[in-house]
């Protein structure tokens, strides 16, 4: 059964992207692969806001989230926790055998830069993890303010997850001094899952060389050595790299600023619908994500029943809450290739269902 995904990832993949994936694979040590790898670098660097390489990892985002803490942590990692994904990073840190501390806030709220400063002032930490856009709660953390604090602690390495914000809002990795910026393919990039991207600062690569327990698959030095030859450390998911090349082409054709504006406009459209229907966003408006909306179920509706009707009658699905927010919130994505028309269609369909309930 085919239906349209308005969940915050994976999201709808265009026919053009799927078509790109059918290009025949080439040997991953061949000049054809080198040409493919090198063709995506300039576009990716622009999207990340960096002069550093952007490595391609055949894994989902968790692979490079785990890999990054293992490459960099010697003393103790501080996990900024404000929702399901950022909380889990603390658990993953401990499972990797690392010393891990928590800067934890209530779900729906953001990481406070001054609270981070206080934690870092203890001198205990050498790595910080931050989820820029906490997909489970729809909170977009204040990245420039948080990075301004981190720049006061140059001995601390920063790892920033932009899984659900990458290409929805501008990224300025070098300007902000982010050491590792990582993302996955199935969110705003609107590709199928299975490819993760990570851009690593020179100093973070130097640091990783001194960490004995960094492993092999996600070793920054392996990525860099292979990058210099236009390759990846192991056999990569070549069809997704074709999809990435096609996607970068789409993004460049649209224009970066137009893309960011489109995401902001569609997000504002959802917010207006939320207000009109007597709901409210989980986050405070100033910390609300621009790529998805996490809405409190203030009318105590049977969200599962609504989503079932949306799927059966209109061939669309939204999300009805992640983890402990299941049933208490619902989430609508405006990531990827959506337009005013496609978002209007979704919201009109939801209106039809809601009005039939009253
Ligand atoms: C913010 C964020 N980080 C990490 C992940 C984990 O990504 P994956 O399941 O692709 O490894 C997700 C997935 O939804 C996410 O939204």
Same domain membership, residue 204 and residue 333: no
Please provide the DSSP assignment of 268-310 as one string: HHHHHHHHHTT-EESS-GGGB-SSEEEEE-TT---HHHHHHHH
| Residue 157 in contact with ligand 1 by CB distance below 6 A | no
pLDDT at res. 34? 98
Share of the chain above pLDDT 70, in %: 100
Same domain membership, residue 266 and residue 153: no
Structure tokens, 260? 């960011």
- Ligand 1 atom nearest residue 133's Cα: 1
Structure tokens, 138? 């729809």
Same domain membership, residue 244 and residue 105: yes
Same domain membership, residue 261 and residue 239: no
Same domain membership, residue 265 and residue 193: no
Containing structural domain, residue 275: 4-10+256-357
Q: Extract the annotated binding site for substrate.
A: 331
Same domain membership, residue 314 and residue 166: no
Mean pLDDT over each residue of the chain, to the nearest integer: 97
How far apart (Å, rounded) are the C-alpha atoms in residues 3 and 1? 7
Same domain membership, residue 261 and residue 210: no
**Which protein residue's CA is at the shortest distance from atom 2 of ligand 1?**
163
Same domain membership, residue 248 and residue 260: no
pLDDT at res. 346? 98
Whole-number Cα distances in Å, 134 to 47, 88, 185, 214: 20, 12, 16, 26
Indicate the helix (H) or strand (E) that contains 237: none
Structure tokens, 259? 């893309």
Domain boundary among 215, 236, 252: 252
CA atoms within 13 A on the CB side of 142: 18
- Tell me the average pLDDT across 273-291: 97
The total number of structural domains in the chain stands at 2
| Residue 176 in contact with ligand 1 by CB distance below 6 A | no
| Residue 282 in contact with ligand 1 by CB distance below 6 A | no
From 7, 11, 61, 323, the mutation candidate for ligand 1 (largest count of ligand atoms within 8 A of CB) is: 61
| Residue 161 in contact with ligand 1 by CB distance below 6 A | yes
Same domain membership, residue 304 and residue 193: no
Same domain membership, residue 248 and residue 263: no
Indicate the helix (H) or strand (E) that contains 165: none
pLDDT at res. 36? 98
| Residue 273 in contact with ligand 1 by CB distance below 6 A | no
| Residue 163 in contact with ligand 1 by CB distance below 6 A | yes
Same domain membership, residue 336 and residue 221: no
Domain boundary among 223, 252, 281: 252
Tell me which residue of 222, 211, 179 sits closest to 198, measured CA to CA.
Answer: 179
Domain CATH code at residue 310: 3.90.1150.10
1 pLDDT more than 80: no
- Ligand 1 atom nearest residue 61's Cα: 11
* 85 alpha carbon – ligand 1 mean position (Å): 7
* 336 alpha carbon – ligand 1 mean position (Å): 16
Q: Could you report the per-residue pLDDT of 214-226, keeping only the tens digit for each?
A: 999 999 999 999 9
Domain CATH code at residue 109: 3.40.640.10
Bigger pLDDT: 178 vs 2: 178
66 pLDDT more than 70: yes
Domain boundary among 236, 252, 268: 252
* 235 alpha carbon – ligand 1 mean position (Å): 23
Backbone angles phi, psi at 236, to 5 degrees: -90, 170
Kindly report the pTM of this predicted structure: 0.98
Q: Could you report the per-residue pLDDT of 157-198, keeping only the tens digit for each?
A: 999 999 999 999 999 999 999 999 999 999 999 999 999 999
Q: How confident is the model at residue 200 (pLDDT cuts 50, 70, 90)?
A: very high
* 342 alpha carbon – ligand 1 mean position (Å): 24
Same domain membership, residue 325 and residue 348: yes
- Tell me the average pLDDT across 300-316: 97
| Residue 131 in contact with ligand 1 by CB distance below 6 A | yes
């Amino acid at each position: 059964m085919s239906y349209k995904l308005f969940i915050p990832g994976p999201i709808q993949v265009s026919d053009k992207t799927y078509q790109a994936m059918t290009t025949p694979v080439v040997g991953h040590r061949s000049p054809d692969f080198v040409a493919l790898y090198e063709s995506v670098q300039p576009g990716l660097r622009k999207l990340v806001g960096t002069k550093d390489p952007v490595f391609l990892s055949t894994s989902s985002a968790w692979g490079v989230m785990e890999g990054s803490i293992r490459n960099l942590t010697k003393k103790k990692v501080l996990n900024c926790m404000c929702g399901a994904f950022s909380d889990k990073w603390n658990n993953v840190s401990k499972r990797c055998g690392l010393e891990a501390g928590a800067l934890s806030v209530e779900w729906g709220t953001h990481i406070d830069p001054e609270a981070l400063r206080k934690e870092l002032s203890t001198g205990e930490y050498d790595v910080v993890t931050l989820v820029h856009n906490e997909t489970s709660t729809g909170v977009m953390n204040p990245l420039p303010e948080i990075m301004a604090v981190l720049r006061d602690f140059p001995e601390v390495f920063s790892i920033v997850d932009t899984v659900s914000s990458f290409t929805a809002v501008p990224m300025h990795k070098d300007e902000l001094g982010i050491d590792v910026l990582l993302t996955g393919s199935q969110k705003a990039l609107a590709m199928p899952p299975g490819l993760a991207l990570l851009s690593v600062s020179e100093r973070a690569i130097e640091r990783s060389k001194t960490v004995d327990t960094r492993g092999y698959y996600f070793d920054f030095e392996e990525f860099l050595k292979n990058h210099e030859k236009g390759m990846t450390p192991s056999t990569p998911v070549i069809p997704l790299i074709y999809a990435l090349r096609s996607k970068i082409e789409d993004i460049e054709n649209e224009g970066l600023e137009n893309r960011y504006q489109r995401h902001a406009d569609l997000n504002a459209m959802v917010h207006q619908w939320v207000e009109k229907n007597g709901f409210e966003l989980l986050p405070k408006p100033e910390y609300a994500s621009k790529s998805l909306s996490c809405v409190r179920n203030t009318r105590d509706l049977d969200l599962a029943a609504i989503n079932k009707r949306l799927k059966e009658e209109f061939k669309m699905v939204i999300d009805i809450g992640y983890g402990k927010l299941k049933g208490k919130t619902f989430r609508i994505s405006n990531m990827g290739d959506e337009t005013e028309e496609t978002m209007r269609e979704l919201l009109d369909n939801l209106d039809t269902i809601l009005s039939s309930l009253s």
